[in-house]
Amino acid sequence: MKRFETLDAEVLGASVDSTWSHKAYAEKMGIKYSLLADFNPRGAMADKYGVYLADKGITGRAVIIVNKHGKVAWVKNYDIPVVPDVTEVASALQQVKTVSA
């Protein structure tokens, strides 16, 4: 998290799970950043970003960087069991920060 803070980034998580589910998950995993519930209507936000899997009722795993102007600047989709590479995401953030400056 400190690395992302140095890149002037705010980390948010989102899924189609409820706020109560997010609360329990955050407590169990020690997550300190905000988790957004895309719960009702289910997957509405994820669908706008192209990561809602309607046939399964879940979202795919993705990292989406939105620049300070509210525009999607970088997207990377990952297979469900794959954990995003923090170094890759930090590099993408640095590039977005440089372009947006």
Mean pLDDT over 59-65 rounds to 92
Query: pTM higher than 0.85 for the full model?
Result: no
> By the 8 A CB rule, do 28 and 20 touch?
no
Give the list of residues 6+ apart from residue 64 with CB closer than 8 angstroms, or none. 49, 51, 72, 74, 75
My answer on whether omega of the bond before 41 falls inside 30° of 0, hence cis, is yes
List the domain boundaries for the chain.
2-100
Mean pLDDT over 68-90 rounds to 91
pLDDT of residue 101: 67
What is the spatial distance between Cα 6 and Cα 40, in angstroms, rounded to a whole number?
34
Q: What is the pLDDT of residues 82-96, one digit of tens each?
A: 989 999 999 999 998
Q: What is the pLDDT of residues 2-56, one digit of tens each?
A: 888 888 888 999 999 999 999 999 999 999 999 999 999 999 999 999 999 999 9
Fold category of 2-100 in CATH: Glutaredoxin (3.40.30)
7 CB-contact burial (10 Å; exposed 0-12 / middle 13-18 / buried 19+) = middle
